[in-house]
Structure 1
Amino acid sequence: MDRRQFLGAAACATATLAATGLAPSAWAADWPSRPIRLVVAYPPGGGTDVVARLFADYFTKVIGQSVVVENKPGGATIPATQDVIRAKNDGHTLLVTLGSSATSGAHINRVPYDPLTDLTALAELGKAPVVMVANKDAPFSSLRELIAWSKANPGKPLHSASYGPGTSSHFGPLLFNRLSGTHIEPVLYKGSAPATQDLVGGVVPLMIDGLTTGVPLYQAGKTKVLATTIPERSDLAPGAPTFRELGFAEMEQLSGYFALFGPKAMPKDTVEAVSAAVRKVLADPAYHKRLAGVGVLPPQAVTPEAFATQIKTDHARWGKFIKDIGFKIDGT
Structure 2
Amino acid sequence: MDRRQFLSTAAIAVAAGVAPHAMAQQWPARAIRLVVAYPPGGGTDVVARLFADYLGRVTGQPVVVENKPGGATIPATQDVIRARNDGQTLLVTLGSSATSGAHINRVPYDPLTDLTALAELGRAPVLLAANKDAPYNTLKELVAYAKANPGKPIHSASYGPGTSSHFGPLLFNRLAGTNLEPVLYKGSAPATQDLVGGVVPLMIDGLTTGVPLYQAGKTKVLATTIPERSELAPGAPTFRELGYPEMEQLSGYFALFGPKAMPKETVEAVSAAVRKVLADPAYQKRLAGVGVLPPQAVTPEAFATQIRADHARWGQFIKDIGFKLEGS
Cross-structure match for 1:77: 73
After superposition, the C-alpha distances for 1:78-101 in whole angstroms (9 at most, x for unaligned) are 222112112222222211111111
- 8 Å Cα contact 1:165/1:188 also seen in 2: no
Secondary structure of the equivalent of 2:180?
strand
Matched, 1:50 2:40: no
Match of 1:60 among 56, 59, 63: 56
- 8 Å Cα contact 2:40/2:189 also seen in 1: no
Cα offset for 1:279? 0.7
After superposition, the C-alpha distances for 1:234-290 in whole angstroms (9 at most, x for unaligned) are 222232111233343321222232110011112222212211111111111211111
In structure 2, distance between residues paired with 1:207 and 1:136: 12
After superposition, the C-alpha distances for 1:165-203 in whole angstroms (9 at most, x for unaligned) are 433233112112223x32222152545677657656767
Q: After alignment, is 224-233 or 153-162 more displaced?
A: 153-162
Matched, 1:300 2:296: yes
Cross-structure match for 1:285: 281
In structure 2, distance between residues paired with 1:160 and 1:277: 42
Cross-structure match for 2:130: 134
- 8 Å Cα contact 2:34/2:65 also seen in 1: yes
Q: After alignment, is 119-128 or 319-328 more displaced?
A: 319-328
Across the aligned residues of Structure 1 and Structure 2, the Cα RMSD in angstroms comes to 2.9
Matched, 1:317 2:276: no
After superposition, the C-alpha distances for 1:110-159 in whole angstroms (9 at most, x for unaligned) are 111000011010111122222113345656543345445656x4845661
Matched, 1:115 2:111: yes
Percent of residue pairs bearing the same amino acid type: 82
Cross-structure match for 1:8: none
Distance 1:162 1:29, change over 3 A: same
In structure 2, distance between residues paired with 1:42 and 1:197: 15
Matched, 1:237 2:239: no
Secondary structure of the equivalent of 2:81?
helix
- 8 Å Cα contact 2:54/2:277 also seen in 1: yes
In structure 2, distance between residues paired with 1:125 and 1:309: 15
Give the gaps of 5 or more residues in structure 2.
1-22
- 8 Å Cα contact 1:243/1:251 also seen in 2: yes
In structure 2, distance between residues paired with 1:221 and 1:30: 49
Q: Report the residue type matching 2:64 in the other structure.
A: V
Give the gaps of 5 or more residues in structure 1.
1-26
The TM-score with structure 2 as length reference comes to 0.80
After superposition, the C-alpha distances for 1:35-82 in whole angstroms (9 at most, x for unaligned) are 322222223333222211211111112122222222223322222211
Match of 2:101 among 102, 105, 113: 105
Cross-structure match for 1:159: 154
In structure 2, distance between residues paired with 1:126 and 1:227: 21
Distance 1:140 1:59, change over 3 A: same
